[in-house]
Structures are given as C-alpha cells and as structure tokens.
Amino acid sequence: MYCRKIITLFIFLGLTLSQAQANQLERFLQSTSTYEVDLEQRTFSADHKTFGLIKGKLYLNRPGKMRWENYTPEKQTIIADGRFIWSYKDDINQVSSLSQNMALKGTPAEILINPNSLKSLYKVVKLSNDFYKLTPKTSEGEFKWISITFKYNNIKSIDMENKKGQWINLKFSNHKKNRYIDNKLFVFDDGSDDDMDF
C-alpha cells in the first residue's frame, strides 16, 4: 500500500512537472501577437560542414500568418496567409503555392504561428531555464527534434535535425514583439503575369 502511494506520488509529480515545463513555453507563445526579427539560417551536413547560409527578416501575425523575406544568397519572399504558402523568387520572377497546413506541418513555423500546435504535436522537455527540446509525437514531419533557446524573454535561436541527418540553426536578433505590423505584408499580390506553379 505504501509503495503504491509512492508510485502514485511520482506519477503525479511527473505530470505536474511536464505541464509546468510546457506552460512556460506556451506562455511565451501565447503572449505574442506579432513578432518581427532579423533571421540567419545556417544548414550543416551530417558531418557538420556548413553548406548553406540565408539572411533575412521574419514577420509573424498570430495566429496563422507569416512573412519571411530572404535577402541572401537570393531574394525570396515566403508568405503564409492563413490558407496558403506563397513563395516568390525575385531573380527568376517565379511564384509557387502550397496548402499552408501541408507546407508547415512539423516545422518550427507551425509552432510560431499556431498557438495550439505545441501541446498537441510535441513532447516538450525543459533542459534549462531558457532551453527547451521538442520531440514530435508522430513521425510524419520532416524533423526528428526541435530545440528553442530563449534570452531575455525572446527567442535567441531554434535548432533542428531533419531525417537526413542535417542540422539547421536559426539565429534571431533585433526583436520587435507585439508592435503594429501592416496586414498587407501577409497578403500575396502577384501584380503581374508571373509564372504560377501550383
């Protein structure tokens, strides 16, 4: 009887700890309505060699909307308008479109713009006061794990490993949280006779 009480206590403590860990991260996401940051993305091969660097700017309007402007190595704009993902490559004047739910499934962007995805899709483990590791509950997504590091109540970086063994690092800087962002930034306007690739 005593052992059973001890086991029950540990189960209760485990559940309470797990909920507290998730809630700290959830509170940060829930308190963010808009977000604007400079972004650097580095991609590393399975043998830890860098083979990709992208610099740009990220805008979020939660829930459901995102704009990512890449400046280097090529100009590209990616817009999530709540229904579709639009990708426009400036150098070749090409537009492509895909269902937003399909395109963002299992990615960090899904967590950032969808307030309900964290708890339903990921197991959250707090590794330190500012460091969380997320493991997908299913194997449907592209990534095996995602980690989020905070600094001064803002996201400092997001790291992830895909199923090919490649590691991707996203570094955030110049944060602007809960400031006005024109909704027009999240509306794709082809405005011309650009090629459409659906």
What CATH number corresponds to the domain at position 74? 2.50.20.10
Token pair, residue 129, equals 């006061």
Q: Name the amino acid, one letter, at 116.
A: N
**pLDDT score, position 16:** 37
Burial of 122 from C-beta contacts in 10 A (0-12 / 13-18 / 19+): buried
**Pairing between β-strand 195-197 and β-strand 94-99 as defined by DSSP bridges:** parallel
- Residue 194 resides in a domain: no
Cα(116)–Cα(168) distance, rounded to whole angstroms? 24
Total structural domains within the chain: 1
Q: What whole-number distance in Å separates Cα of residue 122 and Cα of residue 34?
A: 23
Burial 22-53 (b: 16+ CB within 10 A, else e): beebbebbeebeebbbebebbebeeeeeeeee
CB 158 within 8 A of CB 147: yes
User: What is the pLDDT tens value at each position of the chain, 198 positions in all?
Assistant: 534 333 333 333 333 334 455 455 777 788 999 999 999 999 998 887 777 889 999 999 998 999 999 998 889 999 999 999 999 987 777 889 999 988 888 888 888 988 778 888 899 998 888 899 999 988 877 899 999 999 888 899 999 999 889 999 999 999 999 999 999 999 997 665 444 443
CA angle 61, 66, 68 (to 5 degrees): 135
Residue 198 domain-assigned?
no
Q: Is residue 24 part of a domain?
A: yes
Quick check: is 66 in a domain?
Answer: yes
- Quote the pLDDT of residue 15: 35
Question: Does residue 177 contact residue 35 with C-beta atoms inside 8 Å?
Answer: yes
> What is the pLDDT, as a whole number, of residue 106?
82
Interacting residues of 6 by C-beta distance below 8 A, sequence separation 6+: none
Residue 197 domain-assigned? no
Q: Across the strands, what pairs with 177?
A: 35
| Residue 32 token pair | 């963010």
Range of the domain at 14: 2-189
What is the structure's pLDDT at 196? 43
Phi, psi torsion values for 167, nearest 5 degrees? -110, 130
